[in-house]
Structure 1
Amino acid sequence: MALHMTVNAGEHHRRHCPVSAVVDLGERAPSSWRLVVRGSAAAVPFQAEPLGEGRWRLTWVVDDLPARASAAYELAPGAAATAGPGVEMLPGKDAVDIRVGGSLLTTFHYGEAWSRPFLHPLIGPYGDPVTRAYPVRTDVAGEKQDHPHHKSVWVAWGDVNGTDNWSENREKGHAKQRLQAPPRCESGPVRGRLEASLDWVSEKGAKVLEEDRSITVWNLPADLRAIDLEVVFRATCGPVRFGDTKEGGICSVRVATSMDAAVNGTIVNAYGGTNEAETWGKRAPWCDYCGPVQGHTVGIAIFDHPDNLRYPTWWHVRNYGLMTANPFGLSHFLNDRTLDGSHRLPAGGTLAFRYRVVCHAGTAAEAGLAERYHDFINPPRVAVTAEPG
């Protein structure tokens, strides 16, 4: 038996776009199947996730597919393709190195030496970090050394039941995030995934809530890396109030100092708003920060997902290098203290967020971020038909 799968691009040009389809493989293991582009002998690497009763979710990457075009694939018995090292999750002491194609992309740090977990460095298209090194490193010439709680790529909020899990006040103390256990890691030819369960604790160490965090890294070319972040808050210790503050970001980035819009960089959002004056406190489906690093123009974008609370999100984005997706700070962004953007989660409730972080070569326009955003929120549809054998 063979399965025929047709990927329909829809209205958007697809470039290095992950796609998936649910298939019934019966009693055969996925490793005994081979995926090819129909009419070609070239095998396509794929990854399989079990769904039970012989059903699997297959995921692979479509390299290039014009708008309104389709691509035909065939899944038939045979040896599955390999993709070299793929995405490797390599656990170490209090950290997990994440490699794509054998090269370091980033490291997930979670040890108790840090107030909160974060990704650092984030290596860009030309082999140089595109996020700020401070305070992990203090020896980078010309780098700003302000806001020590801005650690590369991270999740934080400044008012959670009155506790500050954003800033770091070493004299008065501050709230922290602590992993319940070392993260669970999965490597693979198409994607790698890291999952962690965290406790958010107050300045006095009392648990305020729990969080499930998932970080998925896709095996894409260096000029268009993609990292998916999923955050699920769980009110396991009673009701939780996420307070109205500008000091926070469910997905937060601090770019390399050379990229700052106050120097030579540029902020741009999905509507064309440019730099802090036109993007701070404004709503948009995505926001991008680009600028020079070692003579090359590179950028980092955050994509908001339509399923997120208060989509499209507001942005706490500054010319000095900070960019965060902030759904709660309405009174600050709208300059109206009679408003209250707080969100209350009842005891036992959950609140989920999804984002994609894209590290790209060139400007937002050169990277085609408007189309890449649709790869995230409107992925191609895949039709599956079985050929009796």
Structure 2
Amino acid sequence: MSEGVRLESHAHRVEVFASHATEPLLVHNAPVSGRPFLHPIQAPGGIGSVTEDAPSHHPWQHGLYIGLNDVNGVGFWSESLSPDTAHLDGSFASRVTASATASPDAVSWIVTTDYLDPQGEQMMHDAQNWSLTLTDSVLELRLRWTLTADRDLVFGQYDYGGLFLRMPYRSDVGGTAIDSEGSHGPASRARWVAVRMPLPESGQTGAVAMFDHPENFEHPVPWRIDNQLGISPSPCIAGSWALARGESRTFDYGILVGGSDLTDEMIDARWGDYAKEQRA
């Protein structure tokens, strides 16, 4: 059963609400001089947020976001917060460029980002086309991410990079991550990865599953799973790749957000449905 959702959009912020709620289910931040990121993303049922912003162990990580490494030697990951690589880091400019309500059950919006080299010159830009539905106590997100080169680019082989999720991991309570092939990673190729952990607000289990679409580059993609259960479908793990000036590459991802009742069997069934969706 679908639940109604509504969207409030501004130049640098999108908020999505359940129909009659006053607190948002999700906030997409698009800072004028920063990387866009989704935080908080609330698990259905009011058990807490499944994202964390700027944890002490990785202060440059912000909920659900896109980060890249070694693009012509420039980093778009650690936001100049790591002293050893700050001089190699680029910067961002982001904004909300479109929002629409497709139906009472779904909302969609687009955030775009310019990626600038350390001298402030544009290297590439992207469009993140998001949609959200709330169905059967599961929040379901879709992302179509299109990256376009403004100069010839080489994306170097790296241990992580791409869409990344930072959940509120606490070492004293832990959590689990498992992929569609039964592996706990890291760097295993898989169709999906699911992460579960107790959420600080309630102690109840929050679950997030991320899908890699069959038409994506390097599918089934290698996944990064870090020591705090941050996850990322990372084609750069498999090797370097390139875009010529003016060329684009599109990636499609699905994300499910739920609680302890979001089982691996449910996730696998929903991935099967997702895999049948054709790229437009």
Please report the TM-score for the alignment, with normalisation by the length of structure 1. 0.64
Separation in 2, partners of 1:363, 1:316: 25
Separation in 1, partners of 2:210, 2:124: 25
Secondary structure of residue in 2 paired with 1:371: helix
1:62-104 Cα deviation digits (max 9, x unpaired): xxxxxxxxxxxxxxxxxxxxx7xx3322124631111233342
Q: Which residue of the partner structure matches residue 148 of structure 1?
A: 59
Deviation at 1:316, TM superposition (A): 0.8
Q: Which residue of the partner structure matches residue 125 of structure 1?
A: 44
Separation in 2, partners of 1:367, 1:97: 31
Q: Which residue of the partner structure matches residue 292 of structure 1?
A: 198
Q: Which residue of the partner structure matches residue 33 of structure 1?
A: none
Are the aligned partners of 1:284 and 1:312 in contact in 2 as well (CA < 8 Å)?
yes
**Unpaired segments ≥5 residues, structure 2:** none
Moved more, 357-366 or 294-303: 357-366
Deviation at 1:202, TM superposition (A): 1.2
Separation in 1, partners of 2:246, 2:59: 33
Separation in 1, partners of 2:110, 2:19: 21
Match 1:200 to one of 101, 107, 115: 115
1:298–1:311 CA distance, 2 compared to 1 (3 A)? same
Deviation at 1:163, TM superposition (A): 0.9
1:26-52 Cα deviation digits (max 9, x unpaired): xxxxxxxxxxxxxxxxxxxxxxxxxxx
Matches within 5 A, 1:1-389: 86-92=4-10, 94-103=12-21, 104-112=24-32, 115-127=34-46, 128-132=48-52, 134-135=53-54, 144-170=55-81, 172-173=86-87, 174-179=89-94, 181-187=95-101, 188-221=103-136, 223-235=137-149, 237-248=150-161, 250-258=162-170, 263-274=173-184, 279-293=185-199, 294-330=202-238, 341-362=239-260, 365=263, 368-378=266-276
Deviation at 1:349, TM superposition (A): 1.3
Are the aligned partners of 1:290 and 1:363 in contact in 2 as well (CA < 8 Å)?
no
State the AA in 2 paired with 1:206. E
**Unpaired segments ≥5 residues, structure 1:** 1-15, 17-60, 62-82, 136-143, 331-340, 381-389
Are the aligned partners of 1:198 and 1:211 in contact in 2 as well (CA < 8 Å)?
yes
Deviation at 1:379, TM superposition (A): 5.3
Separation in 1, partners of 2:206, 2:130: 22
How many pairs are equivalent?
268
Are the aligned partners of 2:195 and 2:208 in contact in 1 as well (CA < 8 Å)?
yes
Look at both structures and tell me which one has the larger radius of gyration over its CA atoms: 1
Please report the TM-score for the alignment, with normalisation by the length of structure 2. 0.88
Report runs of 4+ in structure 1 exceeding 6 Å deviation: none
Deviation at 1:246, TM superposition (A): 1.5
1:266-307 Cα deviation digits (max 9, x unpaired): 111001113xxxx10110000010022223222111100011
Please tell me the root mean square deviation across aligned C-alpha atoms, in Å.
2.2
Are the aligned partners of 2:10 and 2:96 in contact in 1 as well (CA < 8 Å)?
no
